[in-house]
Structure 1
Amino acid sequence: MLTVLLILIPLVAGLVTFGLKGSGPKTLGLIASVASLAVTVGALFQYRTAPESVQFSACWIPQLGARFSVGLDGMGMMLCLLTAISFLLIFVVIYGRNYERSNSFYGLMLLSQAGLTGVFTAYDAMLFYVFWELALIPVYFLCSLWGGEKRIPVTFKFFVYTFTGSLLMLVGIIYIYLQSPDKSFSYASFTAGNIDAHAQSWLFWLFFAAFAIKMPVFPFHTWQPDTYEQSPTPVTMVLSGIMVKMGLFGVMRWLLPVLPKGADMWSDAAIVLSIIGIVYASCIAIVQSDFKRLIAYSSIAHIGLMSAAIFANNEQSLQGVLIQLFNHGINIIGLWIIVEIIQDRLKVKNLNDLGGIAQYAPRMAIFLVIISLANIGLPLTNGFVGEFLMFSGLFQFNPWFMAVAGLGIILAAVYTLNMVQKVIFGQSNQLTETTTDLKGNELLVLTVIVVLIIALGVYPKPMLDLVSSTTELVNKVY
């Protein structure tokens, strides 16, 4: 039942929040996020001792053969842990902020958490699709109601992209359901191997398009920089830290095991698109002056590497992807928190308007440097282990792919260190001279992030052990 609680806590709290006033919404949001993290940690211990105890299945829509089947493996457990930690950090860091119609804001945030958790735990294809949409709808309203000046056209573009991908995936799900001998949406039925190679070759693109849009992978990425720029920063944290992981998770949970022959046919094409995205997004990031757009393009490059490593189809690359799912989420949320703090203090996001912040906010400068170094994969930070494994796996698959993808490391160092230089070093100005250092809640959140960065960089074994069973399963099926 712990797995069901992971979904129910934010779902019920989100619905209750809509009826609260004053400080009630943010207080309930914080309490619900603490409770979600506590249940997630409990589920983690239960998973380690008795994996079967975190599985739950009940009758849902018997006429369609759909069941409410949820469960946790290493990958799902890790992503649920990332979701719980991330929402708690987000709610703590924005606790002092005042949002118009705060009951709706926090209610939608909690509903998105419920949808994300459902995606990572679903073992029924119809249930997976329902949660996939549930995670999207609250974010659409969050962006359109609390976003920037261009939020309406940008949010419409975001919705069209993601909804189109969802419809393509739904077509694929229905086709596979009709081919199943027991007319069931169960994970076991979908992975039974009832689809011939020809059908898998075109079904691959129906699923891959949906997942590639969500990641996003080139050329399905064009919605992302605009959406990140126009969204309120807490929503951007959810989008870049957690929601993009839905696409990568979907590939590893539903695409590779369900359509192994299709994935084998098109793996080179998927890797090429991913690598193009790495180089393209990195080059665009170098010339960005907007803080939020720079991090958005940085995220595209990092996700591109993870996407390429998945289709390399070997144990090292898959292990690298699995631990990088967690580590990238922690690092990118850390960067967005710095952006949120600077934007709240100075009301600007143009790098050319910043400079010299280290003189007036030394603690914030230290945290920005550490998180930035982790983002480019410096040894002894959490970003290094996953990137090393992914590049090693790509090298085993095709050394040329690894060589081109490796340009992303060099380019990432260029745009990241240039960003650090412009923000915290150099000459200060009248605006940055008014900067104040971190408040208590901001210091607490960034300290947690840096502790995770260093701890998982120095000793990644617990994370590798957690995902090892998932790596073996994907390798066995794919």
Structure 2
Amino acid sequence: MTVSILIFLPIVAALAVLIFKNEVAKHVALFFAVAELGVVAYLLTKFVPDASLQFAVDVPWIPKFGIYFTAGIDGISMVLVLLTALLVPIIILTTYQHTYRKAAAFYSLILFMQAGLLVVFTALDGFLFYVGWEAALIPIYFICALWGGENRIKVTLKFFIYTFAGSLFMLVTIIYLYMKAPEGTYDLMAFYRLSLTTSQQSWVFLGFFIAFAIKIPIFPFHTWQPDTYTEAPSAGSMLLAGIMLKMGLYGMMRWAIPSAPLGFFKWGNTVIILALIGVVYGALIAFRQKNGKRLVAYSSIGHVGLIAVGIFTLSTEGMQGALIQMLSHGINVVGLFFIWDIISRRLNTYDTAQLGGIAKVAPKFATAFLIIVLGSAALPLTNGFIGEFLLLNGAFQADIVLGAVAGLTIIFAAVYLLRMYKNVMQGETNALTATFTDITGSEKLTLAIICILIIGIGVYPGPILHLSQAAVDQLITNIHSKAMNIPLVQH
């Protein structure tokens, strides 16, 4: 079995969903999303956790121009493939209490986006990577523009302009590397083998960085994010924060740094400073938010800023922490957005000032909410802890001051998340919250899955770390080898 089935199954599913209408469409979409998760689970059972490339496909696409459909999975991409396959069925399940106009189109776009995301996380050809990048952007644009809030058109246009402009920088960079490759190919390993000057690598790094920094987003490229997350439908916010922003982080690890290590060494400290500003900025703005969904959006800026810091320490701890934290952050942020989706559907508000006392009337909901908050705040034995521990370990090894500033994210997150929980769930009920009903049916199932993942990964993170260990070690070795002009270790 090759990685091609992972890419094409969601495309077939997206086309199949279009045949069905209304409620049936969501069931068909969920069936195919679970089937995709089953395929990934099967690949996991066959995956050898070394540094080799596995389940690869390499067939001519447009060979005249050096373009091949080349894709595969190693330990790094496996974590992101798992994240995508795991979250898409959960996100579809969160929509079961909604009724969407043109439901078939809505669920079809989700599955098309899943295909694009999987192309990004498995592509080993620069042209294919760019196609997947754009293929993931187009569906989420329509999801936000057609099913978002009242300001959706203005906000979504800003999001599209930002991300499309970033994509152009990436496209120019990929074409430049293609022109420099003696083989006349877009192959990733050919890009790795190029001998470019420090100046050339600086421009290559910056071209990739702008595209990836916008997608993550890293300060000051973040201004599209809070409005987009707030105005998007809940499923759209989950797709954006849970999976799509990981495209940028993965791109840094797979494409930007290994292709231009000298550019990385020149600009890496600047990127770390920008990411740290994002950590503090996101937290400080989150403190002031009364809109719960917007608070989650700003908290995400802080969390992904810390992940970026870990990647740019170029240490085993930092890279491993970044990978497991990408998985954990995806689960946690989907949980937080779903919590606010439930509150909004019942009470028609995101305003924390109007809430209070919900725990008295909805104890099951309160328990799930607390577990998700504690995971997001990195409490030991939750999924958020191991990632942040490794990230901070990498940051402290790089620089004590860097580690101290990065560590603020744990303190800040605990304060604003627990304060949010207190304002919403504790105290006395009021005329609005007294009518709140506890979770049932698909809501209970969805939150149970999320809570099990939060606790399960927190208690036993070893298998996930083992998946990526060898690939991370080889990546770091190759980056240093290229910087010193030593032949690279092949997959």
Please say whether Structure 1 and Structure 2 have the same fold, judged by a TM-score greater than 0.5.
yes
Q: Write out aligned runs for 1:2-401 (5 A).
A: 2-48=2-48, 53-401=54-402
**1:429 matched to 2:425:** no
Structure 2 CA distance for aligned equivalents of residues 53 and 270 of structure 1? 32
Residue-by-residue CA offset, 1:262-315 (whole Å, 9 max, x unaligned): 001111000000000000110000010001110000000000000011111111
SS for the counterpart of 1:438 is coil
Q: CA deviation at 1:2?
A: 3.9
1:297 counterpart letter in structure 2: Y
Structure 2 CA distance for aligned equivalents of residues 109 and 20 of structure 1? 15
Alignment check: 8 A CA contact 1:46 1:54 kept: no
Alignment TM-score, normalising by the size of structure 2: 0.95
Alignment check: 8 A CA contact 2:162 2:224 kept: yes
Alignment check: 8 A CA contact 1:292 1:339 kept: yes
Structure 2 CA distance for aligned equivalents of residues 458 and 45 of structure 1? 21
Structure 2 CA distance for aligned equivalents of residues 319 and 187 of structure 1? 22
Structure 1 CA distance for aligned equivalents of residues 263 and 234 of structure 2? 38
Structure 1 CA distance for aligned equivalents of residues 104 and 340 of structure 2? 24
Q: Please say which of residues 332-341 and 147-156 is displaced more in the overlay.
A: 332-341
Query: Could you tell me which residue of structure 1 aligns to residue 486 of structure 2?
Result: none
Q: CA deviation at 1:20?
A: 2.3
Q: CA deviation at 1:418?
A: 0.7
Structure 1 CA distance for aligned equivalents of residues 133 and 454 of structure 2? 29
Q: CA deviation at 1:46?
A: 1.6
1:260 counterpart letter in structure 2: P
Q: CA deviation at 1:12?
A: 1.2
2:137 counterpart letter in structure 1: L
Alignment check: 8 A CA contact 1:320 1:387 kept: yes
Paired positions, count: 478
Q: CA deviation at 1:361?
A: 0.8
- Consecutive unaligned residues of structure 2, counting only runs of 5 or more, are 480-491
Q: Please say which of residues 267-276 and 339-348 is displaced more in the overlay.
A: 339-348
Alignment check: 8 A CA contact 2:317 2:390 kept: yes
Structure 2 CA distance for aligned equivalents of residues 355 and 245 of structure 1? 34
Alignment check: 8 A CA contact 2:212 2:252 kept: yes
Structure 1 CA distance for aligned equivalents of residues 114 and 49 of structure 2? 26
Q: CA deviation at 1:450?
A: 1.2
Q: RMSD value over aligned CA atoms?
A: 1.2
Alignment check: 8 A CA contact 1:179 1:194 kept: no
Alignment check: 8 A CA contact 2:293 2:340 kept: yes
Residue-by-residue CA offset, 1:376-401 (whole Å, 9 max, x unaligned): 11111111111111111111111111
Alignment check: 8 A CA contact 1:2 1:39 kept: no
2:134 counterpart letter in structure 1: E
Alignment check: 8 A CA contact 2:205 2:257 kept: no
Alignment check: 8 A CA contact 2:72 2:123 kept: yes
Structure 2 CA distance for aligned equivalents of residues 381 and 375 of structure 1? 8
Q: Please say which of residues 26-35 and 278-287 is displaced more in the overlay.
A: 26-35
Structure 2 CA distance for aligned equivalents of residues 470 and 427 of structure 1? 52
SS for the counterpart of 1:148 is coil
Structure 2 CA distance for aligned equivalents of residues 49 and 378 of structure 1? 28
Alignment check: 8 A CA contact 1:256 1:263 kept: yes
SS for the counterpart of 2:65 is coil
Q: CA deviation at 1:427?
A: 2.1
Alignment TM-score, normalising by the size of structure 1: 0.98
Structure 1 CA distance for aligned equivalents of residues 71 and 158 of structure 2? 32
Query: Could you tell me which residue of structure 2 aligns to residue 409 of structure 1?
Result: 410
Q: Please say which of residues 451-460 and 210-219 is displaced more in the overlay.
A: 451-460
> 4+ runs of 1 displaced by more than 4 Å?
49-53
2:37 counterpart letter in structure 1: L
Q: Please say which of residues 61-70 and 216-225 is displaced more in the overlay.
A: 61-70
